């Protein structure tokens, strides 16, 4: 227990809280402006924006202030520290620092992508002077668009906070960026011929507190004040990075990492950051389709594209098959499904007949887990600060947990695959929802032999071409639900955009097929799942909060993560 | 003889209808000039073909008949409107006449001794067209307009008739030709305008009200009643109402000039004793000029005085014009009985006007005092 | 806040004398007024034949200004689209092919049918690139042709410059820093009364 005073206000910190004054002040509700300090990076105290008055309260009650201002980011918040951030001295220092930082700033906010979320703008507004006293012409420096494949540098906007440099040295360990020259000529640059193209490079754009480093992918696409942001989870790998999905008018423009100490920390990888494009690809399924075979005519088939008719057809035909031979019905769940979807589909099929075979489809695994930071040989160093997992799907644990509740004996996908190839299946329900290339063409060929094949996916593929019924579902950005990451952390995803054209939220499709009453509500569904499935007890409130909820029952399963069943 | 009559009737009706069309044009132009505008100028030179275009439009427009109306009466109303006003024209002389049946008579039906009575009888039929139109339209606004109109027309018929009685007494005849003859033979200063100025004023006011012209066009006041009794009428049927109204204006202008302005008489140019070639045409022209001047005057009045409120309209008739016209008639009776000189009548008329105005002023003052806001501060000012 | 007694002026209604109560003089006065107007010059402007001369700060059709080198002056900051209450401006920005500027609009469309001509875009523009001209008689036969693209908006600029119909606001004063690095001194403050007389509306 330690008590310190911030602007005359007492703040008590726990013994395990090792904070600096910036963090402590934030806890007390006081904002200390800062550029160079970042919670995940080392402290350099170079921007001088966080200068505050600091003193010590003596046991006799008197306060001894330090004669000079000190950087708050470098000052540990220990007991009896007295911090003053609103004195004239501090305010003058802040204004002077800002004026200095803005000396050579081009003030091209109208054309700058950062405008609207720029700390130069925010701090100038809150702490700065309205006018500059600089008389001389500003120094104009050349932009550097060679910094990286995804990164461009507007050199004259830079405030030399060195966050990006420290990131490449401390988090990714690749150390491509550096500061060249000294004093007022200092610039961010790369080593010639060694661009900043590591798998975490996109994070330097987020780290940049001003508009110096910009993402080429997002460059000039939108003004940030038009973007509407919803919390979600990256579906790229089983790390399950917390993200913001930024969209405007139903178009996703960028994903940004959302700070989550339980999941991944402050960052995300470029695979996930730029890997969402399939969500708005041309190949998206836009309307449901039921290709009716017409035996009496010359083989051509007519097709139906009305949801109500198709849903009825699926429901009735599965019911008929389940009556005759329930073992010939199989459902392939994808690891991109949310727990709610898996629950709804499994409960419908198991209600038809307990003998229906449910299986988790192939788990995409690419290489091995990619751990950062790395040394110059590319070998991972301890302690690991960021991991890109080999398992390229977000919810294997969650779907598997739901399936094991409905079906005590686990069905491997390979057995379903063999049954399909042998022609033993009468009906199959395959749910996709992820990026293209989930099922191999062998698997599709086998499934195509099933007479009644229902494919619910978001992209046109071999599978949907072969299927008798095609149902357009929703991608991760278009639905609500729960993903459970590699460590058993259940996180909420929220709907950011509308499903494409006539596409439906997957849960809605399942609810209509199973004739459940009411509209889908993820929160209510989570409560139901928590009641039914013991592994999901911790989410019984239905609310997972910003960081998500750990599911201890699945943590054990995560430890013995058996990748052998997955296809290499 | 019948053919002569038929031709005469045809020519007169044609003249009236054509002049109606062009009076509308003149009125629109005049209204525009009074409001610093230009007026119709798109059709033909100076917009002179505008009446033609209007006519074509009226003929070609869709003739809408409301579904729940009384069809027979709905069709009858506009025909009645135009018929009655045309019929009144039968006895109105539009030039010199004579008692000799062989001479050319500038009147369709010469020598009708009850001319005035005929005009009033036929003219009061016009209220039927309005009432029928309003009733048959099966429309609240039409009905309200028609009711207002009937009340108005009935009220103003009394001062209209009474004001003329004085003139009739002086001339000693109901025959319009005789009335002209009486004024013409006694000379310019015996025009009834000079001997009966108050009667002329009452007649002019009442006649405006009778023909539903501004400032007395309450039956069709747009702000309150959309179109009044002709709300539901369109195309040619509306045009017939419109023509009826304008014919009415021409009729009252003729009556005004015949009764008060000496008809075709004008000093030195057109006297009783004038005998030169084409004197009939000149007399005709004089009368036409007088009529035209009165029509212009009516148009000027239209854009000068705003519309009356209905209670003001009624109080003007019953509290102002009716008593005044009776007093005026009484004076004429006295003058006839005791053979007073005619200038006495002029003086008496003006005295009546001034007296009535004084009474009116006192009444208005009293109302101002009663209605004014009472406030402690009012005393300080 | 109640109105204080000292702010109230009580006006007495004018008294009515014999003259007013007679009505006829007032009617005669009214007639005199109307007759006088008959002989006055009409104020009507015969529009299609006679085009009105509108003040140069009239808010009509938009134009996109050009810089000294004839390039579009717009930097695609989209502040106009942000300010637009009718959401009628659609801009797609891109890196410029030029050395001295970062961003320019590859697409700049204004839906002139949706626009309410409030002039907020003009106020928002940091580089004075978008302006409302005094062209008011904008018509079209299809919705598509009323959506003005960049070329069309630039042609409005050329037309208004050639026709001497520069909006008066062009001469407002110092331009934003992002528009031009150097603003000629004589253009920085060009008082309105020094405009060529042809540009000043009577």
Cβ-contact A253, A277 below 8 angstroms: no
The answer to whether the Cα torsion of A296, A302, A304, A310 is positive or negative is positive
The whole-angstrom separation of Cα B158 and Cα B155 is 6
Cβ-contact A50, A22 below 8 angstroms: yes
Confidence of residue B373 (pLDDT cuts 50, 70, 90): very low
Residues forming a β-bridge with A20 = A76
H or E segment and range at residue A215: strand A213-215
Ramachandran bin of A182, using left for φ above 0, alpha for ψ from -120 to 50, beta for the remaining angles = beta
C34 contacts in chain B (CB < 8 Å): 34, 300, 303-304
**What pLDDT was estimated at residue A565?**
43
3-state secondary structure of A445: helix
- Is C21–B360 a contact, with Cβ atoms under 8 angstroms apart? yes
Section A381-394 average pLDDT? 92
CA distance C70 to chain B (A): 45
C77 contacts in chain A (CB < 8 Å): 109-111, 223
B140-B145-B146-B152 Cα dihedral, nearest 10 degrees:
150
CA distance C176 to chain A (A): 9
Nearest neighbour of A220 by CB, restricted to C76, C101, C177: C76
**What pLDDT was estimated at residue B67?**
82
Radius of gyration of chain C (CA): 26
Q: How large a percentage of chain C has pLDDT more than 90?
A: 29
C40 contacts in chain B (CB < 8 Å): 36
Taking the Cβ of residue C129 and every Cβ of chain A, the question of whether any pair is shorter than 8 Å is answered with no
The whole-angstrom separation of Cα A539 and Cα A482 is 10
In angstroms, the first-to-last Cα distance of chain A is 51
C26 contacts in chain B (CB < 8 Å): none
**pLDDT at residue A513 greater than cutoff 90:** yes
**What pLDDT was estimated at residue C176?**
46
Buried b (16+ CB within 10 A) or exposed e, A186-213: ebbbbeeeebbebbbbbbbbbbbbbbbb
Which residues make Cβ contacts (< 8 Å) with residue A442, sequence separation at least 6?
none
The whole-angstrom separation of Cα A430 and Cα A434 is 12
CA distance C17 to chain B (A): 6
> How confident is the model over B200-253, as pLDDT tens digits?
889 999 888 887 777 887 766 677 777 777 888 888 888 888 888 888 888 888
Nearest CA in chain A to C124: A110
Place of tokens 């008579």: B105
The whole-angstrom separation of Cα C125 and Cα C91 is 13
Residue B320 DSSP one-character state: I
**What pLDDT was estimated at residue C54?**
80
Any chains having at least 3 CB pairs less than 8 A from chain A are C
Interface mutation target, options B27, B297, B305, chain C, most CBs of C under 10 Å: B305
**pLDDT at residue B71 greater than cutoff 80:** yes
* pTM of the predicted model as reported, rounded to 2 decimal places: 0.73
- Is B377–C16 a contact, with Cβ atoms under 8 angstroms apart? no
If we measure between CA atoms, which residue out of A74, A63, A69, A86 comes closest to residue A19?
Answer: A74
Confidence of residue B379 (pLDDT cuts 50, 70, 90): very low
B361 contacts in chain C (CB < 8 Å): 16-18, 20-21
**What pLDDT was estimated at residue C178?**
43
**pLDDT at residue A288 greater than cutoff 70:** yes
Interface of B with C (CB under 8 A): 30, 32-38, 41, 201, 300-301, 303-305, 353-354, 357-358, 360-361, 364-365, 368, 372-373, 375, 377-378, 380-381
**pLDDT at residue C183 greater than cutoff 60:** no
Place of tokens 């001339």: B171
Buried b (16+ CB within 10 A) or exposed e, A295-308: eeeeeeeeeeeebe
Greater confidence (C202 vs B344) lies with: B344
Place of tokens 């911090």: A83
CA distance B34 to chain C (A): 4
Taking the Cβ of residue C6 and every Cβ of chain B, the question of whether any pair is shorter than 8 Å is answered with no
**What pLDDT was estimated at residue B99?**
65
- Is C176–A143 a contact, with Cβ atoms under 8 angstroms apart? no
Q: Write the ipTM.
A: 0.80
Nearest neighbour of C15 by CB, restricted to B35, B305, B365: B365
Interface mutation target, options B39, B293, B303, chain C, most CBs of C under 10 Å: B303
**pLDDT at residue C195 greater than cutoff 60:** no
Question: Which pairing describes strands A187-190 and A81-84: parallel, antiparallel, or unpaired?
Answer: unpaired
A169-A175-A176-A179 Cα dihedral, nearest 10 degrees:
60
Buried b (16+ CB within 10 A) or exposed e, A68-97: ebbbbbebebeeebbbbbeeeebeebbbeb
**What pLDDT was estimated at residue A335?**
94
H or E segment and range at residue A481: strand A481-484
Residues forming a β-bridge with A71 = A51
The whole-angstrom separation of Cα B235 and Cα B62 is 6
Helices and strands of chain A, counted as H and E runs = 15, 25
**pLDDT at residue A563 greater than cutoff 70:** no
Q: For each of the domains in chain C, give its residue range(s) and CATH number, in order of start.
A: 62-194 (3.30.70.3270)
CA distance C47 to chain B (A): 12
Nearest CA in chain B to C13: B368
Secondary structure E strands in chain C: 62-64, 89-95, 103-111, 130-132, 147-148
Nearest neighbour of B368 by CB, restricted to C13, C33, C43: C13
A154 contacts in chain C (CB < 8 Å): 102
Nearest neighbour of C178 by CB, restricted to A108, A143, A220: A108
B358 contacts in chain C (CB < 8 Å): 18, 21
DSSP assignment of B37-98, as one string? Answer: -----SSSGGGTTHHHHHHHHHHHS-----TTS-HHHHHHHHHHHHHHHHHHGGG--SS---
**pLDDT at residue A568 greater than cutoff 50:** no
3-state secondary structure of A563: helix
Cβ-contact B148, B219 below 8 angstroms: yes
Ramachandran bin of A367, using left for φ above 0, alpha for ψ from -120 to 50, beta for the remaining angles = left
Taking the Cβ of residue C119 and every Cβ of chain A, the question of whether any pair is shorter than 8 Å is answered with no
H or E segment and range at residue A350: helix A339-352
Q: How large a percentage of chain A has pLDDT more than 70?
A: 96
- Is B361–C42 a contact, with Cβ atoms under 8 angstroms apart? no
Return the structure tokens found at B179: 């009335």
Touch C-B: 3+ C-beta pairs under 8 A: yes
**What pLDDT was estimated at residue B314?**
87
DSSP assignment of A114-131, as one string? Answer: TTTS-HHHHHHHHHS-SS
Alpha carbon B193 to its chain centroid, in Å, reads 16
**What pLDDT was estimated at residue B133?**
84
Return the structure tokens found at B307: 């519309």
**What pLDDT was estimated at residue A301?**
62
The whole-angstrom separation of Cα A495 and Cα C193 is 58
**What pLDDT was estimated at residue A206?**
94
Nearest neighbour of C34 by CB, restricted to B304, B361, B373: B304
A225 contacts in chain C (CB < 8 Å): 82
**Residue A539 vs residues A400, A407, A490, C75, C198: alpha-carbon distances, Å:** 17, 22, 8, 50, 76
B109-B112-B114-B115 Cα dihedral, nearest 10 degrees:
40
Residue C5 DSSP one-character state: G
CA angle, residues B54, B58, B62, in degrees to nearest 5? 140
**What pLDDT was estimated at residue A269?**
94
Nearest CA in chain C to A110: C77
The whole-angstrom separation of Cα B269 and Cα B286 is 9
Interface mutation target, options C34, C44, C49, chain B, most CBs of B under 10 Å: C34
**What pLDDT was estimated at residue A294?**
66
Nearest CA in chain B to C36: B34
Greater confidence (B348 vs A524) lies with: A524
CA angle, residues A449, A450, A454, in degrees to nearest 5? 125
- Is C31–B300 a contact, with Cβ atoms under 8 angstroms apart? yes
Interface mutation target, options C102, C124, C126, C176, chain A, most CBs of A under 10 Å: C102
If we measure between CA atoms, which residue out of A451, A480, A450, A447 comes closest to residue A461?
Answer: A447
Section B187-193 average pLDDT? 80
Confidence of residue B371 (pLDDT cuts 50, 70, 90): low
Nearest neighbour of C18 by CB, restricted to B358, B373, B378: B358
**What pLDDT was estimated at residue B207?**
87
CA distance C202 to chain B (A): 21
Taking the Cβ of residue C93 and every Cβ of chain A, the question of whether any pair is shorter than 8 Å is answered with yes
- Is C43–B33 a contact, with Cβ atoms under 8 angstroms apart? no
- Is B36–C30 a contact, with Cβ atoms under 8 angstroms apart? no
**pLDDT at residue B375 greater than cutoff 50:** no
Interface mutation target, options C3, C16, C41, chain B, most CBs of B under 10 Å: C16
A547-A550-A551-A554 Cα dihedral, nearest 10 degrees:
110
The whole-angstrom separation of Cα B135 and Cα A77 is 94
Section C52-65 average pLDDT? 85
**pLDDT at residue A231 greater than cutoff 90:** yes
Which residues make Cβ contacts (< 8 Å) with residue A166, sequence separation at least 6?
A38, A41, A42, A44
**What pLDDT was estimated at residue A27?**
92
C93 contacts in chain A (CB < 8 Å): 111, 220-221
**pLDDT at residue A192 greater than cutoff 50:** yes
H or E segment and range at residue A246: strand A242-248
């Amino acid at each position: 227990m330690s008590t310190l005073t911030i602007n005359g206000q007492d703040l008590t910190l726990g013994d395990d809280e090792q904070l600096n004054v910036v963090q402590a002040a934030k806890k007390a509700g006081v904002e200390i402006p800062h550029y160079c300090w970042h919670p995940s990076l080392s402290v350099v105290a170079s921007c001088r924006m966080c200068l505050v008055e600091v003193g010590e309260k003596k046991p006799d009650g008197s306060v001894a202030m330090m004669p000079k201002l000190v950087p708050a980011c470098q000052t540990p918040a220990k007991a009896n520290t007295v911090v003053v951030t609103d004195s004239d001295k501090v305010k003058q220092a802040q204004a002077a620092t800002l004026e200095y930082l803005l000396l050579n700033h081009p003030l091209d906010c109208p054309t700058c992508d950062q405008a609207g979320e720029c700390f130069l703008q925010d701090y100038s507004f809150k702490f700065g002077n309205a006018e500059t006293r600089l008389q001389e012409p500003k120094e104009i420096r050349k932009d550097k668009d060679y910094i990286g494949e995804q990164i461009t540098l507007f050199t004259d906007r830079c405030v030399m906070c060195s966050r990006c440099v420290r990131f490449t040295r401390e988090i990714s360990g690749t150390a491509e960026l550096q500061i060249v020259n000294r004093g007022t000529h200092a610039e961010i640059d790369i080593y010639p011929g060694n661009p900043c193209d590591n798998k975490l490079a996109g994070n330097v754009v987020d780290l940049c507190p001003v508009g110096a480093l910009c993402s080429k992918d997002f460059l000039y696409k939108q003004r940030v004040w038009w973007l509407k942001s919803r919390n979600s989870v990256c579906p790229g790998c089983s790390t399950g990075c917390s993200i913001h999905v930024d969209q405007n008018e139903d178009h996703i423009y960028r994903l940004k990492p959302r700070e989550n100490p339980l999941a991944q920390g402050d960052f995300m990888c470029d695979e996930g950051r730029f890997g969402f494009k399939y969500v708005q690809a041309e190949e998206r399924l836009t309307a449901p389709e039921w290709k009716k075979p017409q035996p009496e005519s010359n083989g051509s088939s007519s097709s139906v594209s009305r949801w109500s008719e198709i849903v009825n057809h699926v429901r009735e035909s599965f019911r008929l098959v389940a009556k005759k031979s329930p073992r010939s019905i199989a459902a392939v769940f994808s690891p991109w499904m949310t727990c709610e979807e898996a629950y709804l589909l499994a409960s419908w099929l198991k209600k038809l007949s307990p003998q229906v075979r449910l299986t988790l489809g192939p788990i995409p695994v690419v290489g091995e887990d990619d751990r950062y930071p790395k040394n110059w040989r590319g070998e991972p160093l301890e302690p690991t600060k960021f991991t890109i997992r080999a398992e390229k799907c977000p919810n294997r644990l969650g779907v598997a947990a739901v399936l094991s509740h409905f079906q005590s004996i686990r069905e491997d996908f390979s057995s379903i695959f063999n049954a399909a190839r042998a022609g033993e299946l009468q009906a199959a329900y395959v749910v996709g929802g992820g990026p293209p290339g989930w099922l191999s063409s062998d698997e599709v060929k086998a499934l195509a032999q099933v007479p009644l094949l229902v494919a619910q996916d978001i992209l046109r593929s071999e599978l949907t071409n072969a299927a008798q019924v095609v149902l357009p579902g929703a991608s991760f950005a278009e639905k609500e639900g729960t993903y459970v990451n590699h460590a058993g952390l259940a996180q909420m995803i929220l709907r950011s955009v509308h499903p494409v054209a006539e596409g439906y939220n997957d849960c809605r499709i399942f609810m209509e097929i199973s004739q459940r009453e009411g509209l889908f509500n993820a929160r209510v569904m989570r409560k139901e799942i928590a009641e039914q499935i013991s592994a999901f007890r911790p989410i019984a409130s239905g609310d997972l909060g910003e960081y998500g909820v750990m599911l201890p029952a699945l943590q054990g399963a995560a430890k013995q993560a058996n990748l052998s069943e997955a296809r290499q | 003889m019948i053919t002569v009559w038929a031709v005469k009737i045809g020519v007169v009706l044609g003249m009236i209808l054509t002049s109606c069309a062009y009076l509308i044009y003149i009125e629109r132009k005049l209204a525009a000039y009074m409001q610093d505008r230009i007026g119709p100028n798109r059709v033909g030179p100076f917009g002179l073909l505008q009446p033609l275009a209007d006519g074509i439009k009226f003929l070609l427009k869709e003739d809408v008949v409301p579904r729940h109306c009384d069809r027979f009466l709905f069709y009858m109303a506009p025909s009645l409107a135009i018929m009655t006003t045309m019929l009144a024209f039968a006895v109105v002389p539009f030039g010199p006449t004579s008692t000799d049946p062989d001479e050319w008579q500038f009147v369709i039906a010469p020598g009708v001794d009850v001319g005035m009575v005929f005009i009033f009888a036929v003219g009061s039929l016009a209220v039927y067209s309005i009432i029928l139109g309003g009733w048959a339209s099966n429309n609240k606004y039409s009905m309200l307009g028609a009711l207002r109109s009937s009340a108005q027309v009935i009220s103003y018929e009394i001062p209209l008739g009474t004001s003329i009685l004085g003139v009739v007494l002086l001339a000693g005849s109901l025959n319009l030709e005789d009335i002209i003859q009486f004024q013409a033979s006694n000379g310019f200063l015996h025009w009834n305008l000079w001997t009966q100025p108050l009667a002329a004023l009452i007649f002019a006011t009442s006649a405006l009200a009778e023909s539903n012209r501004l400032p007395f066009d309450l039956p069709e006041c747009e702000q309150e009643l959309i179109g009044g009794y002709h709300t539901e009428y369109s195309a040619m049927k509306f045009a017939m109402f419109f023509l009826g109204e304008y014919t009415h204006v021409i009729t009252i202008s003729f009556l005004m000039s015949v009764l008060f302005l000496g008809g075709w008489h004008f000093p030195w140019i057109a006297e009783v004793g004038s005998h030169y070639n084409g004197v009939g045409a000149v007399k005709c022209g004089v009368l036409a000029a007088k009529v035209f001047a009165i029509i212009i005057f009516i148009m000027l009045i239209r854009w000068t005085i705003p519309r009356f409120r209905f209670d003001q309209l009624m109080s003007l008739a019953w509290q102002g014009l009716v008593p005044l016209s009776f007093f005026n008639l009484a004076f004429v009776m006295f003058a006839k009985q005791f053979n007073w000189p005619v200038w006495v009548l002029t003086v008496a008329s003006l005295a009546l006007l001034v007296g009535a105005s004084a009474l009116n002023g006192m009444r208005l003052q009293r109302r101002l005092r009663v209605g004014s806001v009472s406030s402690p501060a009012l005393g300080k000012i | 806040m109640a109105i204080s007694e000292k702010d109230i002026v009580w006006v007495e209604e004018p008294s009515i004398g014999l003259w007013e109560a007679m009505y006829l003089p007032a009617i005669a006065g009214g007639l005199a007024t109307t007759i006088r107007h008959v002989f006055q010059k009409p104020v009507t402007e015969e529009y299609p034949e006679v085009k009105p001369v509108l003040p140069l700060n009239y808010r009509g059709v938009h134009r996109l200004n050009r810089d000294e080198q004839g390039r579009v002056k717009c930097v695609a900051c989209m502040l106009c689209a942000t300010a637009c209450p009718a959401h009628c401006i659609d801009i797609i920005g891109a890196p410029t092919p030029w050395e001295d500027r970062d961003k320019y609009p590859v697409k700049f469309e204004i839906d002139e049918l949706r626009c309410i001509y409030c002039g907020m875009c003009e106020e928002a523009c940091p580089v004075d690139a978008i302006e409302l001209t005094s062209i008011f008689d904008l018509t079209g036969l299809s919705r598509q042709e009323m959506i003005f693209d960049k070329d069309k908006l630039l042609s409005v600029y050329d037309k208004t410059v050639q026709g001497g119909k520069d909006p008066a606001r062009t001469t407002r004063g110092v331009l934003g820093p992002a528009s031009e690095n150097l603003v000629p001194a004589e253009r920085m403050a060009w008082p309105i009364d020094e405009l060529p007389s042809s540009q000043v509306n009577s």
